[in-house]
């Protein structure tokens, strides 16, 4: 059985302008690999209604899961929930369960659940809430689309709430051999190994260390025994120790 | 006159598996903002021929420029040049000028220009080479598509070779006001300012500092005088100092 596939959609002008360096893609990529969901594509789009709707509809149709990051706070530029509702053709309204969660949170803090904060209780009809243990305002899952906050510690907390509810597959395993030779020297032999072990995927990642060229050879696959076999052959071929 | 628009396409399984954290998107986003090219979208796809071809054709049609990162080295998994040539329906062959550049580089290093390394001289017909002062193997521009290496220091060197040849627009300027209040408190007034200064774009980015909620309010636009006006109003409204 094949693993479920996934895409990530990062929403935010601050990433595209270079002001903020996204951290959520890398974090979620690692978590998905760990539970056997194959991340196939990532997109970053601006805070523009039409761009978000188009990307959501493309990606939810093409993959088993779509995870989004950003745009669900209380300010005027937080338009992700509106765009998700529009993408599904569903109404977006303040929902009682989400409002109760926010009310309890702001009551505890002695703060008012004002109109701006109440925006965060607007949830598309039929969505399931995603728990936010940091700042309470929930994310939500609608069909195969999982909508989460952009602030990295809140995003990570929501991922931790969400992932145990999803069915993963076989984790993608990897082993790395670090070789102090340039890619151009090892490319032919590596290509031959990749052809021989065609059920595995071989990657080659060059680096420079104190002026000397080296390459990290990474072999990936789902069967640990096959990875071990490939690793033994790589060590024999390239003659250095595994990390 | 509107600014030119752009997209970035990052190619590589190592990003999607979470093994490597991409650095090139953030770097190029900042450089494009500086010269007035509006980055509208980023995609990350795997080392898969069909996925690369599809993304290249989507993005080069939708934007004035497409910048790609990754997959132009000497190993079997470096398939970007093949995919670009296929996307344009053009032949891909070892080109004399690219071969001469590689030959001179490997001669200087006392190394052989073997078959694997020669892969890096395969350039689609009609492309212009992009200089690589680090490791010599060139990138290339074909139409509005600019193909560069994934290794960050080489990517940055290629960007430095390429950008002066492109026509930019008005740089997108920004000013930031750091406010030690949560987004929910300032959202309504900020939304009103955003409506009043509708020629500018206002973003709001929450943070937590020693347990206290704060928000960076960012105003962006092309006219420095308008940014100053907006900043004066934000300072009056939210009463703190600009960074």
Is residue A7 within 8 A of residue A64, CB to CB? The reply is no
Name the pLDDT band for A200 (thresholds 50, 70, 90).
Answer: very high
Instruction: Give the gap in angstroms from C-alpha B234 to the nearest C-alpha of chain A.
Output: 15
Would B243 be classed as within a structural domain?
Answer: no
With a cut of 60, say whether residue B242 has pLDDT above it: no
pLDDT at B209: 79
Q: Is B141 found in the same domain as B27?
A: yes
How many folded domains does chain B comprise?
2
Is A243 a member of any domain?
no
- Tell me, yes or no, whether A223 and A129 share the same domain: no
CB B36 within 8 A of CB B115: no
Across A236-240, B112-116, B134-138, B213-217, least confident range: A236-240
Mean pLDDT of chain B: 94
Q: How far is A147 from chain B (nearest CA, A)?
A: 18
Mean pLDDT over B23-34 rounds to 97
**Closest C-alpha among A198, A212, A202, A199 to residue A234:** A202
What integer is the mean pLDDT of A126-133? 96
Q: Do A205 and A234 sit in the same domain of this protein?
A: yes
The residue-averaged pLDDT of B196-217 equals 89
Q: Which residues are CB-neighbours of B176 under 8 A, at least 6 positions away?
A: B216, B217, B218, B242, B243
- Span A139-191, pLDDT tens digits: 999 999 999 999 999 999 999 999 999 998 988 899 999 999 989 999 999 99
β-pairing verdict for A145-148 and A128-130: unpaired
Which DSSP string corresponds to A102-142?
A: HHHHHHHTT----HHHHGGGEEETTPEEE--TTT---EEEE
Same domain, A142 and A200: no
Domain that holds residue A209: 173-238
Task: Report the pLDDT value the prediction gives residue B212, as an integer from 0 to 100.
Answer: 82
pLDDT at B213: 84
pLDDT confidence band for A207 (50 / 70 / 90)? confident
**3-class SS at B96?**
helix
Last residue of a domain, one of A165, A187, A209: A165
Domain check: are B105 and B194 in the same one? no
Q: pLDDT at position A242, please? A: 47
Name the nearest CA neighbour of A36 among A220, A242, A236: A220
Which residues 8-37 in chain A show a CB within 8 A of chain B? 10, 13-22, 25-33
For chains A and B, count residue pairs whose Cβ atoms are closer than 8 Å: 182
| Bridging pattern class, strands B5-11 and B65-69 | parallel
Chain B within 8 Å of A91 (Cβ-Cβ)? no
**What is the band of A243 on the pLDDT scale with cuts at 50, 70, 90?**
very low
A122 touches chain B (CB under 8 A): no
Q: Does A205 touch chain B (CB under 8 A)?
A: yes
Q: Is residue B45 part of a domain?
A: yes
Residues A91 and A185 in one domain: no
- State whether A147 and A93 are in the same domain: yes
Q: B41-98 pLDDT, tens per residue?
A: 999 999 999 999 999 999 999 999 999 999 999 999 999 999 999 999 999 999 999 9
pLDDT over 70 for what percent of chain A?
98
Give A240's pLDDT tier (boundaries 50, 70, 90): low
Q: What distance in Å separates residue A206's CA from the closest CA in chain B?
A: 7
**Has residue B116 been placed in a domain?**
yes
- The span from the CA of B60 to the CA of B129, in Å, is 18
- The verdict on B160 and B182 lying in the same domain is no
Q: What pTM did the predictor assign?
A: 0.92
CATH number at residue A203: 3.30.70
The pLDDT assigned to B211 comes to 78
A228 in the same domain as A134: no
Query: Which has more confidence, A39 or B109?
Result: A39
Residue range B87-103, pLDDT digits in tens: 999 999 999 999 999 99
Task: Identify whether residues A33 and A120 lie together within a single domain.
Answer: yes
> Average model confidence (pLDDT) for chain A?
94
Residues A57, A149: one domain?
yes
């Amino acid at each position: 059985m094949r693993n479920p596939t996934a895409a990530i959609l990062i929403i935010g002008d601050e990433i595209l302008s270079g002001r903020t360096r996204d951290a959520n893609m890398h974090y979620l990529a690692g978590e998905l690999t760990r539970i056997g969901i194959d991340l196939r594509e990532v997109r970053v789009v601006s805070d523009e209604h039409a761009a978000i709707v188009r990307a959501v509809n493309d990606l939810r149709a093409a993959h088993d899961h779509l995870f989004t990051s950003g745009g669900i706070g209380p300010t005027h530029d937080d338009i992700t929930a509106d765009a998700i509702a529009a993408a599904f053709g569903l109404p977006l309204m303040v929902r009682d369960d989400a409002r109760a969660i926010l009310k309890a949170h702001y009551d505890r803090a002695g703060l008012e659940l004002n109109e701006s904060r109440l925006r965060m209780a607007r949830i598309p009809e039929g969505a399931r809430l995603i728990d936010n243990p940091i700042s309470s305002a929930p994310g939500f899952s609608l069909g195969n689309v999982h909508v989460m906050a952009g602030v990295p510690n809140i995003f990570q907390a929501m991922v931790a709430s969400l992932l145990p509810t999803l069915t993963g597959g076989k984790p993608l395993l990897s082993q790395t051999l670090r070789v102090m030779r340039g890619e151009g020297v090892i490319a032919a032999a590596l290509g031959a190994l990749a052809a021989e072990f065609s059920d595995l995927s071989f990657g080659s990642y060059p680096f420079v260390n104190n002026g000397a060229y080296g390459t990290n050879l990474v072999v990936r696959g789902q069967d640990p025994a096959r990875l071990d076999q490939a690793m033994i052959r790589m060590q024999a071929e390239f003659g250095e120790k595994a990390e």
